[in-house]
Amino acid sequence: MATKTGTESIKQIQYLAAALKAPRITQTAQRLADQARDAGWTHEDYLAAVLDREVSARNASGAELRIRAAGFPARKTMEDFDFDTQPAIRAQVGSLASGAFLTEARNIVLLGPPGTGKTHLATGLGVAAARNGHRVLFATATDWITRLTDAHRMGRLPQELAKLRRYALIIVDEVGYLPFEQDAANLFFQLVSSRYEHASLILTSNLPFSGWAGVFGDQAVAAAMIDRIVHHADVLTLKGASYRLRGRGIDSLPSTRTQNQAH
Tens of pLDDT, residues 240-256: 877 655 655 555 555 54
Q: Is residue 204 within a helix (H) or strand (E), and if so which, with residue range?
A: strand 200-205
Note whether 65 and 48 are within 8 A (CB): no
Minimum mean pLDDT range among 132-146, 208-222, 224-238: 208-222
Residue 132, pLDDT above cutoff 50: yes
206: which residues sit within 8 A by CB, 6+ positions away? 111, 112, 113, 114, 118, 174, 176, 177, 255, 259
What is the pLDDT confidence band of residue 6, given thresholds at 50, 70 and 90?
low
Q: Is residue 126 within a helix (H) or strand (E), and if so which, with residue range?
A: helix 118-131
CA-based nearest residue to 184, from 138, 208, 220, 218? 218
Q: Is residue 189 within a helix (H) or strand (E), and if so which, with residue range?
A: helix 182-195
Average pLDDT over every residue of 220-237: 96
Residue 78, pLDDT above cutoff 80: yes
Angle formed at CA 70 by CA 174 and CA 204, multiple of 5 degrees: 20
- Residue 256's pLDDT is 43
C-alpha distance across the termini of the chain, in Å: 84
What is the pLDDT confidence band of residue 1, given thresholds at 50, 70 and 90?
very low
What are phi and psi for residue 170, nearest 5 degrees? -120, 130
131: which residues sit within 8 A by CB, 6+ positions away? 63, 66, 67
Angle between the 43-70 and 24-39 helix axes, to the nearest 10 degrees? Answer: 140
Residue at 234: amino acid letter: D
Taking the complete model, does pTM exceed 0.85, yes or no? Answer: no
Q: Assign domain 71-262 to its CATH architecture.
A: 3-Layer(aba) Sandwich (3.40)
What are phi and psi for residue 218, nearest 5 degrees? -155, 120
Specify the 3-state DSSP secondary structure of 107.
strand
Q: Is residue 231 within a helix (H) or strand (E), and if so which, with residue range?
A: helix 219-231
Query: In the chain, where are the structural domains located?
Result: 6-68, 71-262
Tens of pLDDT, residues 147-167: 999 999 999 999 999 999 999
The two beta strands, 200-205 and 107-111, are: parallel
- Residue 166's pLDDT is 95
